[in-house]
Amino acid sequence: MFENRINLKSGAEIALMREAGRLNAQTLEAVKAEIRPGVTTGELNEVAESFQRAHGVYSPFKNYDPGNGVPFPGSICTSINEQMVHGIPGNRKLKEGDIISVDCGTVYEGFVGDSAFTVGVGEISAESQRLIDVTKEALEIATSLMVPGNHSGDIGSAIEAHVESHGFFSTHTYTGHGVGREMHESPQLTNYGVPGQGFLLREGMTIAIEPMVLIGTRRTKTLGDQWTVVSVNRKLTAHQENTIAVTKDGPLVLTSL
Ligand code: MG
Ligand code: MG
């Protein structure tokens, strides 16, 4: 990860990233189609891995080692209910009424696509649905602001303002990030900010925006598995992510179908 250098992408590089993003969206669609009560998160991981194998791509999540001593064992993150991000797929079965965030990455021709969604399992409560909807809306609002000349603080403050207007909390700990040949590049895009401050958006930037929304607190902690991030009050959380290119023609969502 380059702490200070932002890698601007050429049109040709953005075209490759669009393909990486499309394949990532297709992987997530394949996973989404299998979400139902009784399925395990390990089975969802298998769905992603077999789709990616069949398309000659792979997830940069697998064996990702940030130096916490536990390389990530899955190709996707599966985070259920109070688990906000980085849940490890395994034997846990989804139950009716759960909500689950699935986060995936795809490497295609050396470039990464990174995106995530949260959905309900079967019937969910009205509050759960509202949490998911507000998180999605925050991503949409943020995406619309990804134009040259805006500052990162415009994006972060818009995310937080939308989230707070619905009585929820935006994380101040976890961020979006540059994406390119590496899954995590400079700069970080916080989920809060001050309009007009932060880094300037420029043509050729490719950035993952990822609002993470909580109920009653913004505080989180990491479980003993060294990965799973949960809300400290164990209330529900939601997460939504797309990788976006800043272009002279406006925001280009790289991780759409
Ligand atoms: Mg992600
Ligand atoms: Mg990301």
- Residue 196 alpha carbon to ligand 2 centre in Å: 24
Helix, strand and coil content of the chain, in percent to the nearest 5, comes to 25, 25, 45
pLDDT in tens, 145-163: 999 999 999 999 999 999 9
Average pLDDT, the chain: 97
Residue 4 confidence class, pLDDT cut points 50, 70, 90: low
Would you say residue 215 has pLDDT above 70?
A: yes
- Residue 176 alpha carbon to ligand 2 centre in Å: 6
- The proportion of the chain whose per-residue pLDDT surpasses 70, expressed as a percent, equals 98
- Residue 113 alpha carbon to ligand 2 centre in Å: 9
Q: What is the mean pLDDT of residues 162-187?
A: 97
- Residue 97 alpha carbon to ligand 1 centre in Å: 23
Residue 175 confidence class, pLDDT cut points 50, 70, 90: very high
pLDDT in tens, 48-67: 999 999 999 999 999 999 98
- Residue 16 alpha carbon to ligand 2 centre in Å: 18
Fold of the domain built from segment(s) 2-253: Creatine Amidinohydrolase (3.90.230)
- Residue 106 alpha carbon to ligand 1 centre in Å: 10
What pLDDT does 2 receive?
A: 45
- Residue 242 alpha carbon to ligand 2 centre in Å: 8
Q: What is the mean pLDDT of residues 124-152?
A: 98
What pLDDT does 5 receive?
A: 83
Beta bridge partners of 79: 101
Mark residue 32 as left, alpha or beta (left: phi above 0; alpha: psi -120 to 50; beta: remaining).
alpha
Is 180 within 8 Å of 17 (Cβ atoms)? yes
Paired tokens of 205: 């930037």
Residues in the chain: 257
Rg (CA), the chain: 17
Distance CA 102, CA 117 (A): 6
Would you say residue 43 has pLDDT above 50?
A: yes
- Residue 76 alpha carbon to ligand 1 centre in Å: 9
What pLDDT does 161 receive?
A: 98
CB burial of residue 195 (10 Å; 0-12, 13-18, 19+) = middle
Q: What is the mean pLDDT of residues 224-235?
A: 97
* H helix or E strand, kind and range, residue 80: strand 76-80
Q: What is the mean pLDDT of residues 215-240?
A: 98
